[in-house]
């Protein structure tokens, strides 16, 4: 009988694990099933480009079936797991409940936006984590311009021309830079708005933006944003959000109809329903080989500071044998970082991809009676686009800024995007936007058909 390998989550970690398993295990000896909510891998580093209208939203995804040759792709939601029976609970896209039985399970369920109990945040702010978020932000921006243009009262117009981003990691900085660039281009078609002017504000709780890059590059990025008239508020937090504005810790309320929250991630909520041991941040505790680890007293924290762990109670705790069949990777796992002892790997695609490939090798070698290998990876570089053909980047220790960094960033994404056809789509979109500008149509109702009316 063929071994059953089930992968929960088809993002960077899960997709690359499935691709590697197809190479490592002959189809007659193993059956790989990948479960994902959508039928595509979302290439998140290009989400700001989709929000800022340089890329068609459909071109920042990779259809899973087009790249996986012999894995079984199940579109549905993972709902839970029975570890003792080696069964993963799934609600398929048609609503049917399934149980997928496994010999080996890889958990790669990724993360969602991490929110804080800030009044009005959940009701009035938007994240930048999914394709719907990116499309919604693009539409929201254009709606704000359309509404502002139609208003006679300048005071009311101000709030539709105010845009606040909270959280200045690469997602926040890239998202703001792309959307602001888009708005600067689009506003040429809105004479009243152009005369009134826009206000863009980036709020960051820490002392500098983009903690992922060295201070010299973050200073370059900050100067670049300020040079475009963007207000950068460091050492500042968000206190409240309403439909009409964002209040900052300094007490100022910025009139704004669009508030974007990009202040960190937490594991997908379903991870807590799998019965696996979790660290304080809710990530699955794994050892260096990415195999799920039974919790031990004083286990190393998954975060930078020591933290407590919580695991299922003794009565419902899974046995060591149950856990030995389960692996976890990517944003939802606390994989020990060999390059930073005592800390776990940061939530990045470059880590998830490499963890996906190695976990596939480890699963294959475990099934054949071999030993799994430890995950070792040192971040090789970072790229962050700033719009206007500028970026900051580090590659193999060399720091780049401005146009050369932008070229490196685009080449990097082009090479990393799976599939020749998908790369070509990116190239075409980028070049069309360079020559003809960004597309300022607002495809708000795409995917929602007009209801048919009764005669």
Ligand X SMILES: Cc1cc2nc3c(=O)[nH]c(=O)nc-3n(C[C@H](O)[C@H](O)[C@H](O)COP(=O)(O)OP(=O)(O)OC[C@H]3O[C@@H](n4cnc5c(N)ncnc54)[C@H](O)[C@@H]3O)c2cc1C
Q: Is 433 in the site for ligand X (CB under 6 A)?
A: no
Q: Is 170 in the site for ligand X (CB under 6 A)?
A: yes
Q: Is 331 in the site for ligand X (CB under 6 A)?
A: yes
Cβ-contact 230, 204 below 8 angstroms:
no
Task: Pick from 13, 89, 336, 372 the residue near ligand X by CB under 6 A.
Answer: 13
DSSP string over 317-378? PPPHHHHTTEEE-GGGEE-B-TTSTTSB--S-HHHHHHHHHHHHHHHHHHHTT---------
Q: How far apart are CA 265 and CA 271, in angstroms?
A: 14
Q: Is 359 in the site for ligand X (CB under 6 A)?
A: no
Q: Is 261 in the site for ligand X (CB under 6 A)?
A: no
Q: How far apart are CA 141 and CA 163, in angstroms?
A: 9
Q: Is 44 in the site for ligand X (CB under 6 A)?
A: yes
Report in angstroms how near the CB of residue 159 gets to ligand X at its nearest: 26
Q: Is 267 in the site for ligand X (CB under 6 A)?
A: no
Q: Is 180 in the site for ligand X (CB under 6 A)?
A: no
Q: Is 349 in the site for ligand X (CB under 6 A)?
A: yes
Distances 406 to 162, 227, 350 between C-alpha atoms, Å: 27, 18, 18
Report in angstroms how near the CB of residue 15 gets to ligand X at its nearest: 7
Q: How far apart are CA 230 and CA 403, in angstroms?
A: 20
Report in angstroms how near the CB of residue 127 gets to ligand X at its nearest: 8
Cβ-closest position to ligand X? 11
Q: Is 36 in the site for ligand X (CB under 6 A)?
A: yes
Which two three-digit tokens encode residue 69? 């040759």
Residues 6 or more apart from 13 whose CB is under 8 A from it?
Answer: 106, 108, 110, 329, 330, 331, 352, 353, 355, 356, 359
Closest CA to 260 of 383, 390, 157, 134: 134
Q: By CB under 6 A, how many residues form the interface with ligand X?
A: 33
Q: Is 109 in the site for ligand X (CB under 6 A)?
A: yes
Q: Is 12 in the site for ligand X (CB under 6 A)?
A: yes
- Per-residue string for binding with ligand X, 70-99, x by CB under 6 A? -------xx---------------------
Q: How far apart are CA 160 and CA 139, in angstroms?
A: 13
How many other CB atoms sit within 10 Å of the CB of residue 435?
A: 7
Q: Is 9 in the site for ligand X (CB under 6 A)?
A: yes
Closest CA to 442 of 135, 187, 174: 135
Stretch that binds ligand X, among 3-11, 139-147, 148-156, 357-365 (CB under 6 A): 3-11
Task: Pick from 180, 268, 301, 309 the residue near ligand X by CB under 6 A.
Answer: 268
Task: Pick from 52, 89, 245, 330 the residue near ligand X by CB under 6 A.
Answer: 330
Report in angstroms how near the CB of residue 139 gets to ligand X at its nearest: 17
Residues 6 or more apart from 87 whose CB is under 8 A from it?
Answer: 81, 99, 100, 101, 102
Residue length of the chain: 455
Closest CA to 283 of 337, 322, 329: 329
Stretch that binds ligand X, among 54-62, 103-111, 296-304, 429-437 (CB under 6 A): 103-111
Stretch that binds ligand X, among 95-103, 239-247, 295-303, 325-333 (CB under 6 A): 325-333
Task: Pick from 18, 20, 37, 198 the residue near ligand X by CB under 6 A.
Answer: 37
Cβ-contact 52, 185 below 8 angstroms:
no
Beta bridge partners of 392: 384, 401
Measured from the CB atom, the residue of 54 and 158 that comes closer to ligand X is 54
Measured from the CB atom, the residue of 81 and 187 that comes closer to ligand X is 81
Q: Is 294 in the site for ligand X (CB under 6 A)?
A: no
Q: Is 45 in the site for ligand X (CB under 6 A)?
A: yes
**Residues in contact with ligand X by the rule CB under 6 A:** 9-14, 35-38, 44-45, 47-48, 77-78, 108-110, 128-129, 170-171, 268, 270, 330-332, 347-350, 352
């Amino acid at each position: 009988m063929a071994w059953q390998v089930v992968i929960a989550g088809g993002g960077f970690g899960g997709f690359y694990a499935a691709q590697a398993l197809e190479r490592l295990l002959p189809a007659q000896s193993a059956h790989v099933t990948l479960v994902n909510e959508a039928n595509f891998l979302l290439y998140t580093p290009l989400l700001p480009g989709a929000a800022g209208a340089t890329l068609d939203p459909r071109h920042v995804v990779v259809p899973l079936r087009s790249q996986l040759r012999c894995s079984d792709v199940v579109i549905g939601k993972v709902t839970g797991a029975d570890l003792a029976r080696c069964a993963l609970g799934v609600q398929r896209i048609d609503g049917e409940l399934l149980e997928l039985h496994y010999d080996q399970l890889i958990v790669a369920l990724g993360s969602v936006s991490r929110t804080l109990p800030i009044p009005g945040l959940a009701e009035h702010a938007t994240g930048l984590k999914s394709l719907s978020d990116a499309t919604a932000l693009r539409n929201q921006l254009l709606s704000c311009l359309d509404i502002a243009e139609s208003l006679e009262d300048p005071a009311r117009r101000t709030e539709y021309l105010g845009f606040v981003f909270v959280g200045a990691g690469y997602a926040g900085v890239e998202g703001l830079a792309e959307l602001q660039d888009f708005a600067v281009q689009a506003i040429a078609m809105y004479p009243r708005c152009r005369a009134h002017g826009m206000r863009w504000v980036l709020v960051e709780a820490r002392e500098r933006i983009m903690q992922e890059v060295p201070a010299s590059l973050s200073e370059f990025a900050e100067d670049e944003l300020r040079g475009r008239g963007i207000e950068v508020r460091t050492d500042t937090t968000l206190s409240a959000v309403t439909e009409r504005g964002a209040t900052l810790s300094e007490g100022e309320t910025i009139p704004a109809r669009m508030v974007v929250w990009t202040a960190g991630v937490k594991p997908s909520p379903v991870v807590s329903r799998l019965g696996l041991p979790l660290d304080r941040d809710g990530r699955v505790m794994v050892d260096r080989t990415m195999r799920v680890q039974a919790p031990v007293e004083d286990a190393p924290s998954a975060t930078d500071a020591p933290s407590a762990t919580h695991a299922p109670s003794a009565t419902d705790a899974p046995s060591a044998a149950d856990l030995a069949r389960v692996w976890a990777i990517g944003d939802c796992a606390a994989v020990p970082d060999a390059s930073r002892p005592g800390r776990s790997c940061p939530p990045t695609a470059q880590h998830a991809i490499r963890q996906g490939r190695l976990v596939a090798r480890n699963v294959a070698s475990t099934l054949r009676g071999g030993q799994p290998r430890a995950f070792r990876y040192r971040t090789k570089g970072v790229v962050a686009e700033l719009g206007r053909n500028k970026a900051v980047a580090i590659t193999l220790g060399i720091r780049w800024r401005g146009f050369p960094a932008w070229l490196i960033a685009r080449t990097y994404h082009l090479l990393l995007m799976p599939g020749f056809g998908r790369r070509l789509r990116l190239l075409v979109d980028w070049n069309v936007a360079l020559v003809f500008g960004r597309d300022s149509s607002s495809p708000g109702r795409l995917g929602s058909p007009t209801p048919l009316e009764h005669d």
